[in-house]
Amino acid sequence: MTAVMDRDRILDLFRETGAMLEGHFLLSSGKHSDRYFQCALLLEHPRKAETLAQELAQRVRSVHTQPYDVVVGPALGAVTWAYEVARALNCRGLFTERKGEEMELRRGFQIKPTDRVLVVEDVMTTGGSAREVIALLTRMGVRPLATGCIVNRSGGNPFEQDGLPLFALADVNVQAWDPAACPLCKQGSRAIKPGSRPDA
């Protein structure tokens, strides 16, 4: 089977649900950006989440024909996403949690070294959270087979050197600037924190 949703269709879903904000944003990194993704606003629609997960599953299956056993993603962002992808792949869906600095598998969740594991994030910004999940799996003697995400804004595959393919539904090049170099600031607008309302 071939992929049925192209990048434009996926970005339309983000626009329709208000999950892709276009404007002038202050990111947690301190940089300013013209776009911000809030996947929770898309994933709050179960049917849409299901459609995206099926699309990802189809792309994974087209390369990895052997069934997966586990999909795992970091809380909180990837909890529902990992669950939906697991449903689409007909396997278990787990999430990891941070306790202080450490990423942990809690609640009695178990992954065996023989399990075929897919690591997912909703938005892959630098791949940092997925990398923490992979490090945790490695400590457990588990070697994941691939990573997956809805939006990849990392500009490539952060796990290429680890030999892990990245299945991304949409690669998006998001511009980010240091405040001093921000063209939107120069035009006179003010950056807002995503999630907060712009000043009237």
Phi and psi at 132, nearest 5°, equal -65, -40
Please give the Cα distance from 124 to 63 (Å, whole number): 20
Q: Which is nearer to Zn ion, 89 or 174 (CB)?
A: 174
Total site size for Zn ion, rule CB under 5 A: 5
Half-sphere exposure of 123 (CA within 13 A, CB side): 20
Mark the segment that binds Zn ion (CB under 5 A) among 1-9, 115-123, 142-150, 184-192.
Answer: 184-192
By CB under 5 A, is residue 26 in contact with Zn ion?
no
Query: According to CB under 5 A, which one of 32, 59, 92, 131 is a site residue for Zn ion?
Result: 32
Which two three-digit tokens encode residue 99?
């306790």
The distance of closest approach from Cβ of residue 179 to Zn ion in the complex, given in angstroms and rounded to an integer, is: 6
By CB under 5 A, is residue 176 in contact with Zn ion?
no
The distance of closest approach from Cβ of residue 28 to Zn ion in the complex, given in angstroms and rounded to an integer, is: 15
By CB under 5 A, is residue 191 in contact with Zn ion?
yes
Phi and psi at 176, nearest 5°, equal -140, 140
What kind and span of H or E run contains 25? strand 20-26
Q: Which is nearer to Zn ion, 141 or 195 (CB)?
A: 195
By CB under 5 A, is residue 94 in contact with Zn ion?
no
What kind and span of H or E run contains 52? helix 46-63
Mark the segment that binds Zn ion (CB under 5 A) among 134-142, 149-157, 164-172, 180-188.
Answer: 180-188
DSSP structure class, residue 44: T
In this structure, how many other beta carbons lie within 10 angstroms of the beta carbon of residue 167? Answer: 22
By CB under 5 A, is residue 19 in contact with Zn ion?
no
73, 79 in Cβ contact below 8 A? yes
The distance of closest approach from Cβ of residue 184 to Zn ion in the complex, given in angstroms and rounded to an integer, is: 4
List of residues contacting Zn ion (CB under 5 A): 32, 182, 184-185, 191
